[in-house]
Amino acid sequence: MSNIDQTIALRLLQLKAFSIQTKNLFTWGNGWKAPIYLDDRKILSYPPIRNFFRLELSRLVAEYFPDTDVIAGIATNAIAHGLLVAEQLALPFVSVYPFPKDHGLENQIEGDLRVRQRVVVVENQVNVGDHALRVIEALRNNGCSVEGIVTLFDYQFPVAKRRLDEVGVPLLSLTNFNALYQQLQSQQIYSPEVLTLLQQWHDNPSKWN
């Protein structure tokens, strides 16, 4: 299992969850232009693959955060993944929005959460960490401790690591950009020119043109 990040990167590629294009760039939620996009929701459509990811995410929580009281899925993209983990580990589940909702009860945290509970946050993918930081703040304001974050994919941008280190929350991922890049090289899915462009983007994504 030491190469699980490589295995998972390959499975995501086989699922065609990653889209890479060098001309019509994707626009991310934070406004960045990027040649890559991960549609991890494809995992949910295939029960065997979904179960594999459920077990692997749950393994991270059980191994590194054994005293977890509650699983929190970041709304909305990680609600399904978080709920799968909570079900596997027989733990309570809440969903947390980066911002309070502007309708209904205007909650930011959905579900029953008690003071002093130990929470592990499930995110689908981490780039700069904006949503994770807001969720951490909301959970702490609710009187809970955030033990860590587990995610399917970490883009491994230094800005995210620095920001999470500053708030003292460890990040664990099933796979990451380096593992993906190695698989792209070994599988020869794209030309060397495309891979060079992808690496150049990753080195300075906020300035990419």
Residue 1 pLDDT greater than 50, yes or no: no
Chain centre distance of CA 89: 19
Cβ atoms of 81 and 122 within 8 Å: the answer is: yes
Residue 159 pLDDT greater than 90, yes or no: yes
User: For residue 161, what are its two tokens?
Assistant: 């690591």
pLDDT, one tens digit per residue, over 24-60 is 899 998 889 999 999 999 999 999 999 999 999 999 9
Q: Calculate mean pLDDT across residues 163-168.
A: 98
Q: In 143-156, which positions are buried (b, 16+ CB within 10 angstroms) versus exposed (e)?
A: ebebbbbbbbbbbb
pLDDT of residue 100: 82
pLDDT of residue 119: 98
The CA distance from 128 to 144, in Å, is 23
Q: Which residue has the tokens 């502007």?
A: 102
What band does 2 get if pLDDT is binned at 50, 70 and 90?
Answer: low
Cβ atoms of 199 and 181 within 8 Å: the answer is: yes
Q: Calculate mean pLDDT across residues 173-186.
A: 97
pLDDT, one tens digit per residue, over 83-128 is 999 999 999 999 999 998 777 667 899 999 999 999 999 999 999 9
pLDDT of residue 105: 64
Residue 132 pLDDT greater than 50, yes or no: yes
